[in-house]
Homo-oligomer: A and B are copies of this chain.
Amino acid sequence: MLRLTKKADYGLMALKYLAEHPETPSVSAKDIADTYGIPAQLLAKVLQRLAKVGLLKSHAGMNGGYALSKAARTITAFEVIHAIDGPLFITSCTKGSKSCDLEPNCTVKEPLARVNESIAAVLKSITVYDLVDHETAVSRAAQLQQLVSLTARM
């Protein structure tokens, strides 16, 4: 119903891997791809994108590779997904430039934009550090669900 692209998934996996191995100064794309068994060239392209945005620092040449440019705690899932899949959002017809021609009639767009913001907020509250240390992520999600169900019956 609401699918996250595979590239974003790969990107998150790679970031988690880097966060788990802070001792090694730089890890090559091929290494990560091999450990997870995902296509190397595809992961490479994803990492390039992340480097371009500034989430990763790249180092070419031998023993080169990638390294986090910020603390794992300060990189949110929202940033990653946004960097890889672009600024797409819910509401289907948010094509950026040419907006849907039946926009004046569409009465559903505005409320859905609110939902969109809520989802973005959830993603912003998850960092790659949370991916490594499961406990915090799990408990936070539980809290969120509680809060949501609370507000739901008001």
* 1/0 contact string of A23-56 vs chain B (CB within 8 Å): 0000000000001111000000000000000000
Contact partner of A126 (CB less than 8 A), chosen from B8, B93, B111, B149, is B111
The docked-state distance in angstroms from the alpha carbon of A82 to that of B1 is: 6
The docked-state distance in angstroms from the alpha carbon of A99 to that of B3 is: 15
Q: A residues 67-125 with Cβ under 8 Å of B?
A: 77, 81-82, 85-93, 101-102, 105-108, 110-112, 114-115, 117-119, 121-125
Question: Are A119 and B121 touching (Cβ within 8 A)?
Answer: no
Question: Are B9 and A91 touching (Cβ within 8 A)?
Answer: yes
Number of A residues, CB within 8 Å of B: 63
The answer to whether residues A90 and B3 also contact, given A102-B36, A130-B111, A154-B140 and a CB cut-off of 8 A, is yes
Contact partner of A2 (CB less than 8 A), chosen from B4, B37, B105, is B4
The answer to whether residues A151 and B126 also contact, given A3-B92, A81-B1, A114-B137 and a CB cut-off of 8 A, is no
The answer to whether residues A121 and B149 also contact, given A4-B92, A89-B3, A92-B6 and a CB cut-off of 8 A, is yes
The answer to whether residues A5 and B144 also contact, given A119-B122, A134-B110 and a CB cut-off of 8 A, is no
A62: interface (CB < 8 Å): no
